[in-house]
Amino acid sequence: MNKWLRKSLFILFSIATFGLVTPPASLAAVQEKPAEDSVTKPTFSNENEHALLSDNIDVEQQVSLSKDEIIDSLLFEAEQKSFSKFGDKIGDVIQDEFKKVILPKMEEVITYYVNVEDDELFEHVEISKPSGGTGEKIFHIYNTQTGEDVLRFHVRRENRPLEGYWFNFHYHSYHDSFQSHKDLGSIYWDKNTPPNWMSYH
């Protein structure tokens, strides 16, 4: 007997007898058949539902980093990408001088630009990967929303007569469309040709 038909008979029986007679047990005991959907759908507690809602809110709300957090992240990445560029063969030789002479100037430039420039320009930035071989790129800092570079940090190999090879570190800024070289310093290599960037033992 259908569920709705049992309920209807139960109500009619109660009305007809003014509630003085109890309806037959066959009408009162309505067997619930589980819905097909309930078998496949997982059940969630209130805590689970709350956790899901919280996750959705976290995804939708973009957390804005403070300038200090942006600077710390960029400085960490700048050092990591620099040593990735050098590889072991060059890094083992120049790392101490790089940390002492070049890296502090690099950090000073990044800190200055983040603090002085328009907030929107540096709010969504990332650092690109270095180039290998003989390419100059150490890393570029670019805006992830526009895809445009903001700062470019490079190292150029210079073969100076009677001296040998030097690594000249410099950066370019978007202010002059990356035309001028702003010097960060140079590190002497050797009279022999240096290995390719990103070379490892």
DSSP string, 132-196: -BT--EEEEEEETTT--EEEEEEEEEEEETTTEEEEEEEEEEGGGTT-S-EEEEEEEEESSPPPP
Pair 135, 153: CB distance under 8 Å: no
CA atoms in the 13 A half-sphere facing the CB of 44: 9
pLDDT at position 65 is 78
Instruction: Report the alpha-carbon distance of residue 185 to residue 106 in Å, rounded.
Output: 10
Side chain identity, residue 66 = S
Per-residue pLDDT of the chain (201 residues; tens, 9 = 90+): 555 556 656 565 555 555 555 555 555 554 445 444 444 444 444 554 444 444 443 433 345 778 899 999 999 999 999 999 999 999 999 999 999 999 999 999 999 999 998 777 888 899 999 999 999 999 999 999 999 999 999 999 999 999 999 999 999 999 999 999 999 999 999 999 999 999 998
Phi, psi of 173 (to 5 degrees): -120, 155
23, two tokens: 């309806």
**Residue 118's pLDDT is what?**
79
Model pLDDT, residue 121: 80
CA dihedral 113, 119, 123, 129 (to 10 degrees): -20
As a whole number of angstroms, the distance between CA 71 and CA 50 comes to: 35
Handedness of CA 49, 51, 53, 56 (dihedral sign): negative
pLDDT at 18: 54
Angle, in degrees to the nearest 10, between helices 103-116 and 67-97: 160
Give the integer Cα–Cα distance in Å for 33 and 124: 55
